[in-house]
Chain A
Amino acid sequence: MESKISVKNLDFFYGSNQALYDISLDIPEREVIAFIGPSGCGKSTFLRTLNRMNDTIASASVKGSVMMDGKNIYASGTDVVALRRRVGMVFQKSNPFPKSIFENVAYGIRINGIHSNKADLEERVERALKNAALWEEVKDRLNSSAFGLSGGQQQRLCIARALAVQPEVILMDEPASALDPIATQKIEELVVELKRDYTIVIVTHNMQQAARVSDRTAFFMLGKLVEFNPTQKMFTNPDEKLTEDYITGRFG
Chain B
Amino acid sequence: MANTGTKGDKVFHAVVFAAALSIILIVAAVIAVMFQSAIPSMERFGIGFLFGREWKPAQEEFGALPFIFGTVTSSVIALILSIPVSLGIAIFLVEQAPKKLARPIAFMVELLAAIPSVVYGLWGIFVLAPLIREYIGPFLQTYVGFLPIFQGRITGIGMLTAGIILALMITPIITSVVRDVLEAVPHTQREAALALGATKWETTMIVLGNASSGIAGAVVLGLGRAVGETMAVTMVIGNSPQIVASLFEPANTIASLLAANFAEATDEMYLSALIEIGLVLFLVTFIINAFAKLLILSVASKTNAAKQG
Question: Do A and B have CB atoms closer than 8 angstroms in the complex?
Answer: yes
Question: B-side binding surface: helix, strand, loop or mixed?
Answer: helix
Flag whether A89 is at the interface (Cβ < 8 A).
yes
Contact of A58 among B98, B196, B202, B209 (CB under 8 A): B98
A14 at the interface (CB under 8 A from B): no
- What are the residues of chain B within 8 A of A81 when measuring CB–CB? 197-199
CA distance A53 to B195 in the complex (A): 7
Contact: A95 with B196, CB < 8 Å? Answer: no
Complex CA–CA separation, A111 to B199 (angstroms): 9
Question: Which of these, A88, A95, A165, contacts B188 with CB under 8 Å?
Answer: A95
Contact across chains for B195 and A162 when beta carbons are under 8 A apart: yes
Flag if B309 contacts A151 (CB, 8 Å).
yes
Min distance, Cβ B201 to any Cβ of chain A, angstroms: 10
C-alpha gap A98/B186 in the complex (Å): 12
On whether the beta carbons of A85 and B196 are closer than 8 Å, the reply is yes
Cross-chain contact of A89 among B99, B191, B199 (Cβ < 8 A): B191
Q: Which of B98, B192, B306 contacts A91 (CB 8 A)?
A: B192
Question: Do the beta carbons of B309 and A112 come within 8 Å of each other?
Answer: no
A82 lies within 8 A of chain B by Cβ? yes
A51 to B195, CA, bound (A): 8
Is B189 a contact partner of A108 (Cβ separation < 8 A)? no
Residues of A within 8 A of B82 (CB): none
**Residues in chain B near residue A84, CB distance under 8 A:** 194-198
Contact present for B209 and A97 (CB under 8 Å): yes
Given the interface pairs A56-B190, A95-B188, A95-B189, the reply to whether A89 lies near B195 with Cβ below 8 Å is yes
Identify which of residues 84-119 in chain A touch chain B, using a CB-to-CB cut-off of 8 Å: 84-86, 88-89, 91, 93-99, 107-108, 111-112
Contacts of B210 in A (CB 8 A): 97-98
- B231 part of interface (Cβ distance < 8 Å): no
Tell me if B206 counts as interface (CB < 8 A to partner A). yes
A73 at interface, CB cutoff 8 A: no
- Which residue in chain B gives the minimum CB-CB distance to A147? B309
What's the least CB distance linking A60 to chain B, in Å?
Answer: 13
On whether the beta carbons of A58 and B99 are closer than 8 Å, the reply is yes
Could you say which of B189, B190, B197 contacts A165, with CB atoms under 8 Å apart?
A: B197
A107 to B202, CA, bound (A): 10
Interface SS, A side: helix
Contact of A99 among B197, B198, B209, B309 (CB under 8 A): B209
* A158 at interface by CB-CB < 8 Å: yes
* Residues of chain B contacted by A98 (CB below 8 angstroms): 209-210, 306
Within the assembled complex, what's the spacing in Å between the Cα atoms of A81 and B203? Answer: 11
Which B residues lie within 8 Å of A85 (CB)?
196-197
Question: CB-CB < 8 A to B188: which residues of A?
Answer: 91, 93, 95
With a cutoff of 8 Å between Cβ atoms, the chain A residues found around residue B192 in the complex are 91, 95-97, 158, 161
Q: Which residues on B sit within 8 Å (CB–CB) of A112? A: 196-197
Q: Compute how far the CA of A94 lies from the CA of B189 in the bound complex, rounded to whole angstroms.
A: 10
Look across to chain B and name the residue whose beta carbon is closest to the beta carbon of A80.
Answer: B194
Residues of A within 8 A of B202 (CB): 111
Contacts of B193 in A (CB 8 A): 97, 107
Give Cα A88–Cα B195 distance, bound, in whole angstroms.
6
Q: Which residues of A contact B (CB under 8 A)?
A: 51, 53, 56, 58, 81-82, 84-86, 88-89, 91, 93-99, 107-108, 111-112, 147, 151, 154, 158, 161-162, 165, 171
**14 additional contacts (CB under 8 A) given A88-B196, A93-B188, A161-B196:** A53-B194, A53-B195, A58-B99, A81-B197, A84-B196, A86-B197, A91-B191, A95-B186, A98-B209, A108-B198, A147-B306, A162-B196, A165-B197, A171-B195
Interface residues of B (CB under 8 A from A): 98-99, 186, 188-199, 202, 206, 209-210, 306, 309
**Shortest beta-carbon contacts, A-B, top 8:** A85-B197, A89-B195, A108-B196, A95-B188, A95-B192, A84-B197, A111-B202, A81-B197
